[in-house]
Amino acid sequence: MTDPDQSSTNRRQFLAAGTTAGLALLAGCGSTTGSNNTTATSTSTPIPTTSGPAQFGRAALLGPSTVTLGKPFRLTLEVTNVGGETGTLNTDIHVTDGRSTIAQPIKRTIDPGERVKIQTDPVQFDIADSYTFDVGISKVSHTVSVQPKTAAYGTTFDLSDTLKGTAKSIEFRPAILYSPAGGSQTLLEQASSNQLLAVTRVDLENAGSQPASIGGEFELKNGELRQTLGSTTPLSAAKIEGKPLTSLRLSPGQQRSGWLLGEIPRSKARKAVSVVYQRDTSETPPELEWTSTPKQGTRELPQFAIESFQLPKRVTQGENATANVTIANKGNSTRTFRGLIESRTGNSGNWGGVAPITAQVRPGQSIQRNVTINSSADGTISYRLAPFNQTKTVEYVPPTFAFGQSYTTTENVSVTVSDIQAVQSVQLAGDEPIQRTAPSGKRFVIAKVRATAVGRSDGTPRGDEFQLKANGQTFAQADEVTRPLISPVEGEPYGGVYDPDSGDSFSWYVVWTAPKQVPTDAMTVQWTSREDSSGVRGESARWTKGGS
């Protein structure tokens, strides 16, 4: 969540601000002019010396090993003149953190055998890290680990010089619903196995006189914050109250509330959970940490179970299916269940959202929902209830009629299939009648189609959209029949028109080739319109003997 116009101080600036003051004081350590506020004392215990010029040894740099971010601390340099003459110590103390080094000179006159302690004025840091202070004699150094500020949720911290932040609350969910922009479909984002989604709400306030932006990053300790839903959908598509805490800019005095979405193992969510703020880089410890600790030591988490997911095995195409769903709350507090019935064609392909389910469930109780599924599908469709992923299969079959009955299409055309018969040969029109005989072991099957426009219509069914089926097989239309029939029936072997006027009626015959052993009583004629340009599956109807 880094804004290029961030107003917070960067790492190098914090380091300079946090250490220069203390080292400026160190720069005068041991000075006899009294121009600084460091404290220097001498020990009274005699120390053995050697003859000759001053020599400085037995040095030690002392101080705390761990401090809290922003808390002042002092360092003490101890050093002894082990030489035989009075001399002046000229060295420096410098701090390194791998990216910045600031050095300050030290100059102090020390008598033979004298051991002095030089204490700095308070030093503090605004970036958490491990800092090493070095002295340019005897390879003396001291490391101070600057740890984050920590507090409970509800505490306000300074994210930068002017931007204040408060982690208000955290909530755990097995899944959330979302709707990608520009689409009407609802999808479900669910946590990985043995994980939960965590929604943390954060308040921000710009207490300065200039615009301010989030200059660092929030992180979920022992978990991971989500930047998108699915692979590319922005967090703003989530059906969560409020807005995500993405890159934003606050005017002077402006306040803003938002949420962070993360994922965390269930085992970690049961205990204390922390959100941290990193001012500069993830290679160093965070600067701020808010912790939510369960009152009883272990947090109660949402726990739902599916008791029932029922769908009819067969549905007539164009009719709605009803899913019966029963969900139980196995936890000890009232929770909101969020689920989604999804579908896909057959047993492969991507799942798509069909019907979301949201309901509050009391502890130890169950809720039952009847969910209507609108579908224009045909064939076999798989449905599953996420996040449980229990799957059911529904076969969508075309509406079925007896030969001689009519079906009205969505294009306002009444279609009737009748007079089905099987023959060994047919006669076609020509200068002289043309005899066509079915291939060996087969025969021709003929059915009459009548299409009547009963309203405004873009077109009637086409002759090549009719199929002959029997015993799980589909039989092709006869290539031999391309001219008008004159025996055993009279009529065209093809048909279909565009933009008919209401009341216009058209009829033709369709001829297929089928094995002799297939009885006409077992035959089904099925019409399926072509997919339109948007890929919507075709409309279907079928005719059989008796209409079953």
Residue 241 located in a structural domain = yes
Expressed as residue numbers, the domain containing 332 is 304-397
Q: Which of 42-56, 94-108, 190-204, 373-387 has the highest mean pLDDT?
A: 190-204
* Rounded-to-integer distance, Cα 377 and Cα 372, Å: 14
In this model, does residue 14 exceed pLDDT 50?
no
* Rounded-to-integer distance, Cα 510 and Cα 516, Å: 18
Give the rounded percent of residues in the chain with a pLDDT score beyond 90.
64
Predicted confidence at residue 371, as pLDDT, reads 93
* Rounded-to-integer distance, Cα 499 and Cα 367, Å: 51
| Arithmetic mean of pLDDT over the chain | 86
Please report which confidence band the pLDDT of residue 35 belongs to, taking 50, 70 and 90 as the band edges: very low
**Contact of 133 with 145, CB cutoff 8 Å:** no
Residue 3 located in a structural domain = no
Residue 251 located in a structural domain = yes
187: left (phi over 0), alpha (psi -120 to 50) or beta: beta
Predicted confidence at residue 99, as pLDDT, reads 58
Q: 243, 261, 292 — which closes off a domain?
A: 292
| Number of domains composing the chain | 4
Residues 447 and 517 in one domain: yes
Structure-derived torsion over alpha carbons of residues 15, 17, 18, 21, reported in degrees to the nearest 10: 130
Nearest one of 148, 117, 118, 146 to 132, comparing CA atoms: 146
Strands 335-345 and 406-408: unpaired
**Contact of 540 with 378, CB cutoff 8 Å:** yes
Predicted confidence at residue 335, as pLDDT, reads 94
Residues 115 and 89 in one domain: yes
Residues 142 and 163 in one domain: no
Residues 239 and 325 in one domain: no
Please report which confidence band the pLDDT of residue 40 belongs to, taking 50, 70 and 90 as the band edges: low
Q: 357, 374, 397 — which closes off a domain?
A: 397
Residue 75 located in a structural domain = yes
Give kind and range of the element (H or E) at residue 67.
strand 66-68
Residue 299 located in a structural domain = no
pLDDT digits (tens, 9 = 90+) for 113-171: 999 988 877 888 888 888 899 888 878 899 999 999 999 999 999 999 999 999 999 99
Lowest mean pLDDT among 12-26, 121-135, 255-269: 12-26
Lowest mean pLDDT among 90-104, 316-330, 367-381, 426-440: 90-104
What is the arithmetic mean of pLDDT over 245-262?
Answer: 91
Predicted confidence at residue 125, as pLDDT, reads 85
Predicted confidence at residue 190, as pLDDT, reads 93
Burial class (CB in 10 A: 0-12, 13-18, 19+), 434: middle
Question: What is residue 20's three-state secondary structure?
Answer: helix
Residues 443 and 318 in one domain: no
Predicted confidence at residue 348, as pLDDT, reads 79
Domain of 383: which CATH number? 2.60.40.10
Predicted confidence at residue 48, as pLDDT, reads 75
In this model, does residue 461 exceed pLDDT 50?
yes
**Contact of 61 with 135, CB cutoff 8 Å:** yes
pLDDT digits (tens, 9 = 90+) for 193-223: 999 999 999 999 999 999 999 889 999 999 9
What is the arithmetic mean of pLDDT over 349-354?
Answer: 87
Predicted confidence at residue 45, as pLDDT, reads 62
Q: Residues in the chain, how many?
A: 548
Lowest mean pLDDT among 1-5, 63-67, 438-442: 1-5
Q: 397, 417, 444 — which closes off a domain?
A: 397
What single-letter DSSP state applies at residue 350? Answer: -
Residues 171 and 274 in one domain: yes
Please report which confidence band the pLDDT of residue 43 belongs to, taking 50, 70 and 90 as the band edges: low
Predicted confidence at residue 46, as pLDDT, reads 64
Give the distance between the most distant pair of CA atoms in the chain.
140
pTM above 0.75? Answer: no
Domain of 438: which CATH number? 2.60.40.1240
CB contact set of 528 (below 8 Å; sequence gap of 6+): 378, 398, 465, 467, 538, 539, 540
Predicted confidence at residue 23, as pLDDT, reads 36
Residue 215 located in a structural domain = yes
Residues 430 and 525 in one domain: yes
Residue 75 tokens read as 């360092």
Residues 408 and 458 in one domain: yes
What single-letter DSSP state applies at residue 441? Answer: T
Distances in Å between the Cα of 63 and the Cα atoms of 73, 75, 145, 150, 418 are 8, 5, 11, 22, 101
Residues 360 and 321 in one domain: yes
Lowest mean pLDDT among 118-132, 167-181, 243-257, 313-327: 118-132
Residues 340 and 225 in one domain: no
Tally of helices (H runs) and strands (E runs) in the chain: 2, 44
Predicted confidence at residue 280, as pLDDT, reads 81
Residue 273 located in a structural domain = yes
Residues 59 and 127 in one domain: yes
For residue 527, the one-letter residue type is W
Question: What is residue 47's three-state secondary structure?
Answer: coil
Residue ranges of alpha helices (H) inside 127-184 are none
Residue 5 located in a structural domain = no
Strands 249-250 and 175-178: unpaired
- The alpha carbons of the chain give a radius of gyration, in whole angstroms, of 42
In this model, does residue 12 exceed pLDDT 90?
no
Give the rounded percent of residues in the chain with a pLDDT score beyond 70.
88
Residues 257 and 311 in one domain: no
* Rounded-to-integer distance, Cα 24 and Cα 513, Å: 102
B/e letters for 345-354, b = 16+ CB within 10 Å, e = fewer, are eeeeeebebb
